[in-house]
Structure 1
């Protein structure tokens, strides 16, 4: 068992509010006074009046100036809780836990929730200051409470417009400016109403959603939500396939022959920590996929690669699961088997007789399960009703 001892770490990470330094502890003030260097945004450094030892973060953001001061007495100032959508999480990628000591402040989410009387555990907290606005589609359900960080005035307007354009006009929209400081301002109006969107930074918005959506939180989204040319894993088959892929938070999927990207989207929507590398050779389908991914705000989770299978670029991250929805071949299966790691899941769907023969062979060689899936839907036959069958699909699924 390992035990961390905080023996005089060189870095101190201190969360502050807009009311700093008046609401800060003596311990925090003392650490800042003793520091040789203090890193932070211009606003943070000005609030604390750190003078010549202040160091403003570079644009674009980089931790290199901080790491160059390693083993000096350094303080980093951050807004609220540094490890909730803050700089703390970024710094932890480069440092060992024994290298820093953190004094967090109340998060902006806590401050907003306390103003509105919302339970944080029942509220979706997002950081849309560096994420696609369209990601809201995955959280906007009637009655849902959402608090999101914003980068600037433009972000506030885009969020408001997104709700207005997606039939959520009766939602309550709150704007919090310089929350916790002497110049704090809170505005509230329905999305459909006019609201002053000229704001002061930092700014955060909260939304109590009112409106209906066709989306669900489970796999099997309606086919009509995707732009496609007919080459798409259909709704029910998609739900079955996702059950076999069995995604877990933080996992990576390779979607081979991704087509419209429907499987990639279903995988990424299940967790913000999930990621996908989608392979497609047809340029028009690739464009359709890009449009679909953008619609769901998943640009930051899905990487698209133009590739003619079985050719796969080198030095890609090794996946936790692989789905082959089209273009299966002996060469491709051999390549995937050699590249995939132990305990990864591999799922292949096929409709052709040639592909069936190949999957029967691999079932005999490697094991796994073979499932023949026949889906039929009720449809009109003249003046009466009957069953209209889709092409049967053979699915091979295996844990390596």
Structure 2
């Protein structure tokens, strides 16, 4: 094999099987030395179509994916079969991460996402794609608002019933739910019903869902903009208030595919709102108290970001072996010099650190660090109108001093 040749082919295959493959895809299969795939994928390749050693994906797949790169990279011709478009929530994404583009060739088929939108006449650019394969159903909450179109990849045949119950419980029982079984094959079938009266506990194992969201009430869904109402969170009082939270998120400046550390997370509001801004944003919340750590997970699930990670224990001892984050918010332990130094050491170059202080001692710590590290210092003083007898008056909240700094 010359250096100019790709050693890895990733072939998308649909329910129409071998006959649906183009010549390039068939050539990738017939010329392979090793052919990887699931039971269904390998069964779609006739014996005459490939003399390669057929290797069934183990469960979990991760070790086999690592083995392909570690043992066969540049040495053997490997072809991997995947459903539809391998780069759309497929194995192609995992396999090619870290490879040079000249090492592989991806030959996609029409994706199930594209087929579902075509069947319903939905514009793909206006439809949200979500996968529930090995992921919690609570992530749907972030996307629920009237008129939203969702295409959902199912874990198995029970997923549609789970989704229907979840939609109903979440106040979206009026949503139209279409389940497509064996999409693109000769046995394709569509089941359509409202989520609230969904009666199919078990659909075909190979299925996906399309949901046209409709609310059961006139209540507005929570905005994705920072600054959710304080009562959106279950809290014991350790909560960054709405106005301060919105400013703090603006200073943290979330970007796609970035990770936040929320240190001394309390209720978890900062990390939760960080993750709500985009599905690719991630957060690790550090919280010493067990009850608060459990409450953070509960709040994250109820607000549609169940993948938020909580590490319970005393920082910074819990930082060991973790990858550097893109941003850090210190909400608790601001006066702790060891904590700050550990955070600063872990923060990635170009990363943002934001710390809030409400006591004189913690404010003094921020002022001292500002002198050394630079950045911006500001003080927020918020007052809310509250009833006083038959009238209203301003009730001031505790002023908050905020320090923002970017690591060189």
User: Which TM-score applies when normalising by structure 1?
Assistant: 0.94
1:142 aligns with 2:146: yes
Alpha-carbon spacing, 1:94–1:244, altered in 2? closer, same or farther (3 Å): closer
Q: Which residue does 1:41 correspond to in 2? A: 38
Deviation at 1:309, TM superposition (A): 3.7
2:234 to 227, 237, 253: 227
SS at match of 1:153: coil
Q: How far apart are the structure 2 equivalents of 1:59 and 1:167? A: 36
Q: How far apart are the structure 1 equivalents of 2:114 and 2:180? A: 13
Q: Which residue does 2:97 correspond to in 1? A: 93
Contact persistence 1:172–1:189 (CA under 8 A)? yes
Q: Which residue does 1:57 correspond to in 2? A: 57
In structure 1, stretches of 5+ residues that fail to align are none
Q: How far apart are the structure 1 equivalents of 2:360 and 2:192? A: 61
SS at match of 2:310: strand
Deviation at 1:312, TM superposition (A): 4.3
SS at match of 1:63: helix
Alpha-carbon spacing, 1:6–1:228, altered in 2? closer, same or farther (3 Å): farther
Q: Which residue does 1:323 correspond to in 2? A: 329
SS at match of 1:253: strand
Q: How far apart are the structure 2 equivalents of 1:170 and 1:6? A: 57
Q: How far apart are the structure 2 equivalents of 1:309 and 1:38? A: 47
Deviation at 1:334, TM superposition (A): 2.9
1:80 aligns with 2:84: yes
Q: Which residue does 1:9 correspond to in 2? A: 6
Q: Which residue does 1:168 correspond to in 2? A: 172
Deviation at 1:295, TM superposition (A): 2.4
SS at match of 2:17: coil
Contact persistence 1:373–1:393 (CA under 8 A)? yes
Q: Which residue does 1:115 correspond to in 2? A: 119
User: Which TM-score applies when normalising by structure 2?
Assistant: 0.92
Q: How far apart are the structure 2 equivalents of 1:339 and 1:39? A: 39
Count of aligned residue pairs for this structure pair: 395
Alignment deviations for residues 323-375 of structure 1 (CA, whole Å, 9 cap, x no partner): 11122123322332333233221111111111112222222222222211111
Q: Which moved more, 1:62-71 or 1:195-204?
A: 62-71
Q: How far apart are the structure 2 equivalents of 1:370 and 1:94? A: 40
Q: Which moved more, 1:252-261 or 1:212-221?
A: 212-221
1:355 aligns with 2:362: yes
In structure 2, stretches of 5+ residues that fail to align are none
Pairs within 5 Å for 1:337-356: 337-356=344-363
Q: Which residue does 2:255 correspond to in 1? A: 248
Contact persistence 1:375–1:392 (CA under 8 A)? yes
Q: How far apart are the structure 2 equivalents of 1:253 and 1:337? A: 13
Contact persistence 2:157–2:206 (CA under 8 A)? no
Deviation at 1:213, TM superposition (A): 4.3
Structure 1 stretches (4+) deviating beyond 4 angstroms? none
Q: Which residue does 1:374 correspond to in 2? A: 381
RMSD of aligned Cα (Å): 1.9
Deviation at 1:228, TM superposition (A): 1.1
Q: Which residue does 1:304 correspond to in 2? A: 310
